[in-house]
Amino acid sequence: MIPIRRLGYAVFESPDVLRMAEYYQNVIGFEAVERSSKRAVMATKSGQIALVFENGPSTHCPRLSLEADPDFDLEDAGRVLRSHGLSVELCSDIAPGVREAAVFTDPKGTEIEILSRVEPVATRANGGGISPVKFGHIAFTASTAKSITDFYCNALGFRVSDWIESVFAFLRCGPDHHTCNFIDGPDGVMHHMAFELKDWAHVLTASDLLAANRKPIIWGPGRHEVGHNIFIYHRDPDDHIVELFTEIDLMKDESLGYFDPRPWHRDRPQRPKVWGREEAAPQWGLPPSAEFRRGGEQHLARQGHNG
Ligand SMILES: [Fe+2]
């Protein structure tokens, strides 16, 4: 097993890399540590790469990076993944602060870069924008959420936090309730990505900044029942759904087996479980707008919820 500890960055194709770099710098508040019409690398103000945009005809997400335990030797990734019938390539200097990566294609068709001992990049740590504290989670559809969940748990050390019925999985690789979601649907389609804000006041600031930039909130504010994060969603210039969230459940101690208690938990203690789709609806806030549901009617209608 490869002991994954945290989410790295997501790589997207974009027909207009400079437009995306400008949006993620000026509105979201990341910093372009590398920028050209061919490729832009966006880091949080604390120097962690969150997004990479590469010029291409589509807007899909072909690659995702995951950071392994620093004691894990990337040379061992091949042995682990070969036992799952997958081949691995070792690559070097693929992004700033990343000396080496073990790269393979996961069963839903996303290239995964396993990173180790990532160095933060230098940023000016000033400037405007929303400035999320980190890249928190990313959701993909897969032909069966169950089989890709099994792979992430068995090969990459993820743990299941919750299921909504058998079609929507929430997986953690550290204390956060989820860093990856898998939803029944077509293989390898990015459903939404989520960036963490500091607190409720930061959600308010973010809402004002989105309004000032004529970016409507398409769902929220509300509090999810599954994961209990407060959320707002909007669409970026390439039409990706972006969630900004705070107060997500934390599994601070795996050996206890429950999420750190919060007053909004209905189960006491709140343990990983399988939710029915009705009980999985947000605790408060209005249902998702038509603009949120656009393009995803089919699987969202089946799920009745979006993590
Ligand atoms: Fe989410």
Q: How far is the CA of 79 from the centre of ligand 1 (A)?
A: 32
Give the right CATH number for 4-115 from 3.10.180.10, 3.60.15.10, 1.10.3720.10, 3.30.499.10.
Answer: 3.10.180.10
The domain limits of the chain are 4-115, 134-303
> How many angstroms does the Cα of residue 54 sit away from the middle of ligand 1?
24
Peptide bond into 269 cis (omega under 30): yes
143's tokens: 């032909």
Confidence (pTM): 0.95
Note the pLDDT of residue 105.
Answer: 98
3-class state of residue 154 by DSSP: helix
Assigned CATH topology for domain 134-303: 2,3-Dihydroxybiphenyl 1,2-Dioxygenase; domain 1 (3.10.180)
Residue ranges of the chain with per-residue pLDDT less than 70: 296-307
Running DSSP on this structure, what letter comes out for residue 45? T
The C-alpha atoms of residue 65 and residue 179 are separated, in whole angstroms, by 12
Asked if residues 277 and 303 have their Cβ atoms less than 8 Å apart, the reply is yes
pLDDT in the model for residue 295: 82
**Ligand 1 center to residue 61 CA distance, Å?**
16
Q: Contact at 8 Å (CB) between 187 and 194?
A: no
| Nearest one of 229, 154, 150 to 182, comparing CA atoms | 150
**Cα distance between residue 4 and residue 271, in whole Å:** 22
The dihedral built from the CA positions of residue 268, 270, 273 and 278, taken in this order, carries a sign that is positive
Rounded CA separation 146/229 (Å): 23
- 57: left (phi > 0), else alpha (psi -120 to 50), else beta? alpha
Q: Tell me how far the alpha carbon of residue 43 lies from the centroid of ligand 1, in angstroms.
A: 20
Contacts for 178-181: CB closer than 8 Å, 24+ residues apart: 178/137, 178/227, 178/248, 178/307, 179/6, 179/7, 179/136, 179/137, 179/138, 180/7, 180/137, 180/138, 180/139, 180/140, 180/152, 181/137, 181/138, 181/139, 181/140, 181/307
Q: What is the pLDDT of residue 300?
A: 42
- Ligand 1 centre and the CA of 248: distance in Å? 10
| Identical fold between 4-115 and 134-303 | yes
Cβ-based neighbour number of residue 96 at 10 Å: 17
- How far, in Å, is the centroid of ligand 1 from the Cα of 242? 8
Task: Give residue 103 CA to ligand 1 midpoint distance, Å.
Answer: 25
**pLDDT given for residue 302 in this prediction:** 40
How far apart (Å, rounded) are the C-alpha atoms in residues 61 and 84? 23
The pLDDT value recorded for residue 93 is 86
